[in-house]
Structure 1
Amino acid sequence: MTPPLSLAEIEAIIHRGVPLAAAWGVRVLSASAEEAVLELPHNPALLRPGNTVSGPAIMGLADMAMWAVLLAGSEGRDESLTANMHVNFLRPCGPGPISATARLIKGQGRSIFGEILVRPLETKDVSVHVTTSWVRGRPPDGPAR
């Protein structure tokens, strides 16, 4: 049996697979096959007028957080693709840092469903609620590690 991936390994896979994640400084704070938490640090390049993190950055972080769950549950060999993302902006996140907590709702079969809550890092107040569906892809022949 292969040992679970470390947080650093999941983060490295995300940074390779989505180079913007590395450029933005995205960090994996926790990850399991059920839930993952990612952090987007304060970055002036990602702010919109009003001194708050922009929608595209928030959506990118949410997508990466869901992928972290899938990577943790597949020994880093996930080839799933985002099929749909529904985003509700409830309140501004502020300038960051922000966190995205992704939770797997349905992971069996070809269709995958998840929920992501985005909030300023040091608060429980949800700023953005995301639901997402993914289509499971065929895993590659070798490990991603």
Structure 2
Amino acid sequence: MMVTFEELQSFLAEQFPQGARYGTLQELGDGWAEMKLEVAEEHLRPGGTVSGPAMMALADVALYAALLGKIGLVPLAVTSNLNINFLRKPVAHSPIRARASMLRVGKTSGVGEVYILSDGLEDPVAHATITYAIPAQR
């Protein structure tokens, strides 16, 4: 692992402070990360379910953490593709969690997947595949 949990937490707070709205880092490993979002009213859409954008943001930031845990603190690694499938309705006022893992990390890109889970449900509520563009070394 290139980055410790504490280093990544500090980096995210300094370089991506708005990311805290999308969840907090819970665990970090070599190419994987877990994040948690405490669902608030701002994350709900009409009908009392967690909004798609809230789940997408959580998935994106979780995989960003997993990638940086693998390659180091590379601020300009950016999302180049995100595909998400919403599988079932999350529990409206329960936290959601993202389990992100890198499937492949190359010199210029990284591909991973994220399962979104809702506290109170056994099965995932969403599944995302995400590709990140990694800037060339200078």
TM-score range, shorter chain: 0.7 to 0.9
Normalised by the length of structure 2, the TM-score is 0.85
- SS of the aligned residue for 2:71 comes to coil
Q: Which residue of 2 aligns with 1:44?
A: 41
- 1:25: Cα distance to partner? 6.6
Q: Which residue of 1 aligns with 2:100?
A: 102
Q: 2:43 corresponds to which letter in structure 1?
A: L
- 1:8: Cα distance to partner? 3.6
Distance (Å, rounded) in 2 between the aligned partners of 1:136 and 1:25:
22
Are the equivalent residues in 1 in contact too, given 2:22–2:58 (CA < 8 A)? Answer: no
Unaligned runs of 5+ in 2: none
- 1:135: Cα distance to partner? 1.1
Normalised by the length of structure 1, the TM-score is 0.82
Unaligned runs of 5+ in 1: 141-145
Is 2:61 the counterpart of 1:64? yes
Change in 2 beyond 3 A, CA 1:127/1:34: same
Q: Which residue of 2 aligns with 1:113?
A: 111
Change in 2 beyond 3 A, CA 1:5/1:135: closer
Distance (Å, rounded) in 1 between the aligned partners of 2:106 and 2:99:
20
- 1:109: Cα distance to partner? 2.7
Change in 2 beyond 3 A, CA 1:123/1:8: farther
Distance (Å, rounded) in 2 between the aligned partners of 1:53 and 1:12:
28
RMSD of aligned C-alpha atoms? 2.2
Change in 2 beyond 3 A, CA 1:61/1:17: farther
Distance (Å, rounded) in 1 between the aligned partners of 2:30 and 2:98:
15
Q: Which residue of 2 aligns with 1:136?
A: 134
- 1:80: Cα distance to partner? 1.3
Q: Which residue of 1 aligns with 2:89?
A: 92
Moved over 4 A (4+): none
How many aligned residue pairs are there?
137
Distance (Å, rounded) in 1 between the aligned partners of 2:66 and 2:82:
16
